[in-house]
Amino acid sequence: MDFSSVEESYVTLLCDQVRAAAGNDPNMGVLEKKLEQMAKPYLRVALERLVQERAGNVATRCPRCNTALQVEARMRRRKINTKFGKIALARAYGYCETCHDWQYPADAALALQERAPASPCVQEICALTTLRDPAINVQEDTRRLTGIDMDPACIHREARRQGERALALRNADTKCTGTLQGVAELAKRAVLPTAPFTLIIQMDAWNIRERNDWGQTEDLRKAGQEPKRWHWVYTGTVFRLDQRATTASGRPVITERGYVATRLGLDAFREQLYAEALQRGLLQAELVLILGDGAAWIWNLAKERFDGAQQRVDLFHVSQHLWAVAHDLHGHGSPEAKAWVAPYLGWLKQREDGALDVITSLEQLRDNMTALTSPQREALEREIGYFTEHKKRMDYKRGKALEQPVGSGAIESTCAQYQRRFKLRGQFWSLEGDEAFLALATLHFNGRWSSLFPHDDDQNPVA
């Protein structure tokens, strides 16, 4: 690298500073760390200068509606926490007569948030680290990796703020599903192969532990109530059949897929899943296949939002139903139960209308076995009902032949991915907090991170 004499003297200066600070016999880590520390003040001053320059060039127009502002002050100061330390910024501020609101156009142009001191890079660091672990656990690692020392409450608050932004983006997408134009807009985002394709949608629900009624436990118990702490998180995943692959070790993987997760109930989930499916090729797919377990809400939702899609109930879930009958008839874990269940499982997998054969056989058992106890008879009735209800969703032979999934492994791994962060032991969430973090995690899983943090766009996209 050819340096000018000015640049050369800067390098010499840094080396001198590090030599003075690093002590005797420093290892390379010490040199790296010290160099970073010594360069920081220069970077901080340079950043402050550049930020101020940029702020000065921003027109005093409303960032929301572009109306010229009634300028109230030209040099209103604020402090910002950056990667290189605290800097100060003075910028104009004024009133928008269209929005009836006070605005700082430079803050909007610099991607600074109202009453939040974090620079965009610091916002991102807080958001990324908190997605992996609660803020209390990431403080020390964050300090070591970035040199930024923030207390856990600040990290959490900042990450939460980014969650709110993710939530706003998600809400904008969901709102699109309400109009034809919006639907077309979402569908246009789909990046698709030229060949006809099958779109798979899977859904499930799991529990999250929440901190509502916090501090009221005693009062509630006195009143004879238990605080309600567990709530459903509805979760979905969307991918194309051609996005499934196998690793070298034979493990099935999905190379790319859409994620949806919400605590806000089924109506919210349905619209979020629809918005995600549109962005993954719902309208362009040759075939749409929905997979789930036996839960009624899944099939109601499928009918409401994905009418005309093919439906399939998870084979593992179905076989558990057969195992339950086997155990009822022949004793739990007995060899007789095992022998009884085998042909049924075989019919489901190998016969065109295997479910009908199962139903016929169960009905014959019910009608012909004289020694049935009444719980056994009830169990048989219940399972005949189950198979009758879902028989059209049990086309496993055809599914296998078309190399389609017959189980809901993809959604189970999706739920597990969320649970690794949201189901930590001893962890509580609040409705607002967990929804914001769910939205943030979902944005990240969906590969849309740069819609919140475009400053990294020239690099590799965040996986």
- Summarize as ranges the residues that interact with Zn ion (CB under 5 A): 62, 64-65, 67, 96, 98-99
Distance, in Å, from the CA atom of 84 to the CA atom of 106, rounded to the nearest integer, reads 20
Neighbours of 266 (CB within 10 A): 16
Residue number with CB closer to Zn ion (46 or 68): 68
Least separation in angstroms between residue 62's CB and Zn ion is 3
- CA distances to 52, 107, 355 from 55, rounded to whole Å, are 5, 8, 69
Identity of the residue, 68 or 253, whose beta carbon is nearer to Zn ion in the bound complex: 68
Q: Least CB distance from residue 110 to Zn ion, whole Å?
A: 18
User: Is the CB of 100 or the CB of 115 nearer to Zn ion?
Assistant: 100
Distance between CA atoms of residues 165 and 170, nearest Å? 9
CB closer to Zn ion, 96 vs 301: 96
Compute the distance between CA of residue 405 and CA of residue 291 in angstroms, rounded to an integer: 8
Smallest gap from Cβ 63 to Zn ion, in A, equals 8
Q: Nearest distance from residue 58's CB to Zn ion, in Å? A: 15
CB of 72 to Zn ion, least distance (A): 14
Whether residue 40 contacts residue 85, with contact meaning beta carbons closer than 8 Å, is answered with yes
Could you tell me the two tokens for 70? 């009634």
Residue 206's beta-bridge partner residues?
233
Report the C-alpha gap between 231 and 236 in whole angstroms.
16
Q: How many C-beta neighbours within 10 Å does residue 122 have?
A: 22
Identify which of residues 67 and 146 has a Cβ nearer to Zn ion in the complex. 67
CB of 70 to Zn ion, least distance (A): 11
> Using CA atoms, how far apart are residues 140 and 112, in angstroms rounded to an integer?
25
Nearest to 17 by CA among 40, 46, 38, 44: 38
> Would you say 17 or 67 has its CB closer to Zn ion?
67
In angstroms, what is the minimal distance from the CB of 181 to Zn ion? 24
Compute φ and ψ for 88, nearest 5 degrees: -110, 150
End-to-end CA distance of the chain: 33
Provide the minimum distance between the beta carbon of 106 and Zn ion in the complex, in angstroms, as a whole number. Answer: 15
* Angle of helix 152-176 versus helix 180-188 axis, rounded to 10: 120
Choose between 14 and 99: whose C-beta lies nearer to Zn ion: 99
Instruction: Name the residue among 38, 33, 26, 14 with its Cα closest to residue 143.
Output: 33
The answer for residues whose C-beta is within 8 angstroms of residue 210's C-beta and 6 or more apart is: 229, 230, 231, 428, 429, 430, 431, 434
Query: Which lies closer to Zn ion via its Cβ, residue 50 or residue 65?
Result: 65
69 versus 394: smaller Cβ distance to Zn ion: 69
* Residues forming a β-bridge with 370: none
Non-local CB neighbours of 295 within 8 Å, separated by 6+ positions: 204, 205
Give the count of alpha carbons within 13 A of 43, CB side only.
12
Q: Are 201 and 236 in contact (CB under 8 A)?
A: yes
Task: Name the residue nearer to Zn ion (CB basis): 107 or 124.
Answer: 107
Nearer to Zn ion, 108 or 287 (CB): 108
Q: How far is the CB of 93 from Zn ion (least distance, A)?
A: 13
Q: The tokens of 428 are what?
A: 């509580």
